[in-house]
Each structure stands twice: as C-alpha cells, then as structure tokens.
Amino acid sequence: MPEDEQPDFGEAGKVTIRVENVGVEVDLAVGQYLFYRLTVQGAPPLFAWTCEHKRRLAGKDFQGHPKKVYEWTWCRGSTSDKDANIDTYSVGMRFTAATKYTLLVELRDRDDEPIRTVKDLDFESQAPQDSFTSTLDILVV
C-alpha cells in the first residue's frame, strides 16, 4: 500500500465493495435461505462464522480444509432459526497466512435459485496481524 494511502482496516487492509447490505429479511416459510461462499487466496485461512449466541463454523470444520472455496448455508430447508428471529451473524477473517478473502452471501429460494446478492466483498491484507469481521443482521419474516 502506498505510504500516503490509509488502510481500510488494520495495518494494511483494503476492502473492495461490490454489494454490501447490513441486514436481510429471510422468509423461511416459503423456503428462502442464505448461501455463503468464502473464497481464499494465499496460505491456509483462519476464519469463523458466528452469531450472537455461539461459533457456528470455522475453516477447520470443513472437509478438505485447507482449501480455496468454502460454502455453507443458513436455515436451508428449515422453517425457523431456533436461536432467534433476529440475530447478527459475522464472518471473522485473519490475515496471518491468507492474503485475500472474497465473501459472497446470496438470498436464495427453495429451488436454490438466487433471489438477490446480499454481500459481495473482497478483503485483502499483507499484514499478518490484520483481521476483519463482516456482519449481517438477519431478520426472519
């Protein structure tokens, strides 16, 4: 990063925003759910997906870890989220080894078709001490 530029986060972090919503309404009664994809560049990633109540997933929980693409869903095939009707979910990423993460979150229908993109962002840093957390408020309607 050039000397006169300020990082977006940490010591050297840069965020590229294509789509970023801070919240999303999900109608579980009609089969809507959230699809997450985290694409990683660099060495093995350190990340976790959490809600206000608990850690949900981390990179090490995925078969084949470490890998370049991680995918998971929230409430696919479910009519309720047992934790809350509104909750904040976060994807926390560390740049200890990985240098770039691309986070995509889509609202999808029961037939797995995208309804709309909720988040599509890149997070990059060459500083191993950097970390970033992307949050999303989810409201069940």
Quote the pTM value. 0.93
SS3 content of the chain, % helix, strand, coil (to 5): 5, 55, 40
DSSP helix/strand/coil, 28: helix
Domain ranges of the chain: 14-140
Q: Which of 41-50, 76-85, 94-103 has the lowest mean pLDDT?
A: 76-85
DSSP 68-124: SEEEEEESTT-S--SS-SEEEEEEEEE-SSEEEEEEEEEEE-TTS-EEEEEEEEEEE
Q: Is the pLDDT score of 83 beyond 60?
A: no
Query: Phi and psi dihedrals of 30, rounded to 5?
Result: -105, 10
Q: What is the pLDDT of residues 7-22, one digit of tens each?
A: 999 999 999 999 999 9
Q: What is the pLDDT of residues 57-78, one digit of tens each?
A: 999 999 999 999 999 999 998 8
